[in-house]
Every structure is written in C-alpha cells, then in structure tokens.
Structure 1
Amino acid sequence: MLISKIMRTNLVLVSPNCDFETLMCKIAELAPRQVYVVDDELKLKGIITGYDLLKVVLPSYIDSNLLRSLSDSDDFLKKCIKAARSKTAKEIMITEFTALRPTDHAMEAEALIVEKRINALPVLDEDGVLLGEVHRRDILNYMVKTCLNCNLKKLQTVDLAKIKKEEDKKKYLYNLQNEGNND
C-alpha cells in the first residue's frame, strides 16, 4: 500500500515565529503527535513534539527526585513556563528529520519508524512541501485490514472508572479471559 493511500492530511501547522504559549496550547488542545513548522509555501522547516516542548520548560538538571523535594512543584513549573515564553518555534523545532514520499510503501514507513524510534513521519513532495504524515497507528490499521478479519469481531473499550463493584470486575475479567476464543 502506498503512503499516499494511508497518510493523514489534517495536521497542525505553525510558522517559524509561532510563540511558545501558542505551541503549548496547540499540543494540549488539538492533541497532535507533532506540530509542523512550515514556511509560506508549506515547505517543512522543522518538527516540534510534546517532548521538545517539555525539554524547553524543564531544565536539564531537573530529575524526579529533585521535583519531589520541591514544596510547591506547581509554582516551580509556572516559573519554568514563564522563562520559556520568549522561545519561538524556530528555536525549539528539530530540523533533522526523516521524511517519506507519497510513493513509498507502508511497510517501508514502519521500518523507518522502528529504526528511528518515533511514532510518526512527515510525507513530503519532491520540493519539500508537506503533504501529510503517517503514524504507526495508520500502518497498523493497514496491516489489520490487509491480514485480519477484525471487522467481524465485536470490540470494546473498558472504562476503568466505572468498574466499582467486585461483580463488575469479575465480569470484565471474564470477558477479557474469553476474548479471542472461537468456541
């Protein structure tokens, strides 16, 4: 399957001058895996992930033990965010990234995702214009549609907050233990 058939085209884009606060809001509200920094011609200049934003907020010397020792970690976090507010997308973005072409195969994308230890790859045309992205989930969905009959199975999620009584727990555990049995 070609990347062009499975790529997502609904992406979060920002200009290189986008401010830190806007970046934080876009990551939080829109819940993308990554934000793409593009120029006026939609050429990809860089990528920003939630991890990249967290690195800007928390100084490199901070570890979990130090944070536990702080009497008010929320106050400390607010100070760190205030210090990061002057940063722009251009200062935060990574500029070295692996990209796909629309004519690449889905399994090539999966191999790159595994090699690079990332979850998503941008898809660019020959001029570097951003066309979309492919997530590991997109590739998994392609594999499932190609190889399995998942549409024949009744699948459900479990809301753990609603499992309050012991008999509810037993019911859910029973269902989990018997899932996939074709008796």
Structure 2
Amino acid sequence: MESLLVSDYMNHRPVKLSTELPIAEAVERLLTSKQAGGPVVDEHKKVVGFLSEQDCMSKMITSSYYREQVCRVKDVMHGEVLAVKPYSSVLELANMMLKAKPKIYPVVDDDGFLLGVINRSDVLNAIDVQLRSGYKGT
C-alpha cells in the first residue's frame, strides 16, 4: 500500500482562533466554517491550544442565560494539543484516532507552527481513495 501522508489530505485553510477572541465569536467562526473545532494560535501562528464545539457549549449556555459575554477562548481552550506533522502517515493517525478523543488534529511543522488541520473525515477519505485505487489495479 502506497504511503499516505497527512500533507496530502489535510485542510490547508482551517479556522484559526486567538486566545483573546470572545467565545461567542469563536463559535460563530466554527459554525461558519463547518468545523467542529479549531487550533488556537499566537500572533506568530504557533499553536498554543485547541478549542472544540464541546468546549464551548457550557460557556455559551451561561452566556445566553446571563445575556453577556462570559469568557474568551483562553479561558476554555485545551492547552495540551495533540498535533501531527505533515509528513506523518495517515494510517498511523487513523490508529491514534481509534484510541484518542480528538476528532481534529492540528498539523504543525517541527517548530509548532500551524500548517493546517486534519479530521476523521479527511482520514477516512484518504483510506477510501487508497483502497479504491488498489481495486482498479487488480
């Protein structure tokens, strides 16, 4: 089976969030982009956290109840981020996804700078494309 690289299937234009962004605005960006979460980056595009839709739910409920902005991305984001490199194997990532919770992984270079994201659908698509191309060859 031909090597499947993350760089060939990742989303090169993910939603990027900053630490100071209000949660309501972050949620709006996630909804508009139809992404279930996004990397939080500093001013240099280095990944410093990750924010998922699930992370936002309780804060959004509190915000709607009190009708005010309660917090910012930095107050809710996960500081420990499971990320992958662009040269990582899609099949290895698929195995990681079977064991770990994240549905979306930031793709970072060796210095931690954001290059894109890859999600479960991207991984399934990569494996499907590979399997279909194998069937055509037989």
- Same fold by TM (over 0.5)? yes
Q: Does 1:8 align with 2:11?
A: yes
Percent identity over the alignment?
A: 22
d(CA) in 2 for partners of 1:18 and 1:102? 27
d(CA) in 2 for partners of 1:35 and 1:119? 11
Residues 1-183 of structure 1 correspond to what in structure 2 (within 5 A)?
A: 1-58=4-61, 78-80=64-66, 82-83=67-68, 85-148=69-132
1:116-152 alpha-carbon deviations (Å, 9 max, x no partner): 1221111111111011111111111111111126xx9
The offset of 1:10, in angstroms, is 1.2
Instruction: Give the alignment's TM-score, normalised by structure 1.
Output: 0.66
d(CA) in 1 for partners of 2:84 and 2:106? 6
The offset of 1:24, in angstroms, is 2.1
The offset of 1:58, in angstroms, is 4.1
Which has the bigger relative contact order, CA under 8 A and spacing at least 6? 2
After superposition, the Cα gap between the structure-2 partners of 1:100 and 1:113, relative to the gap in structure 1 and judged at 3 Å, is same
The offset of 1:35, in angstroms, is 2.1
Matched letter for residue 118 of structure 1: P
Higher helix share: 1
Counterpart in the other structure of 1:63: none
Task: Flag structure 2 segments of 5+ consecutive residues without an equivalent.
Answer: none
SS of residue matched to 1:29: helix
Matched letter for residue 108 of structure 2: L
d(CA) in 2 for partners of 1:86 and 1:78? 9
1:77-109 alpha-carbon deviations (Å, 9 max, x no partner): 8315x35x1301111111112110111100111
Instruction: Give the alignment's TM-score, normalised by structure 2.
Output: 0.85
- Aligned pairs, how many? 131
RMSD in angstroms over aligned alpha carbons?
1.9
The offset of 1:14, in angstroms, is 1.9
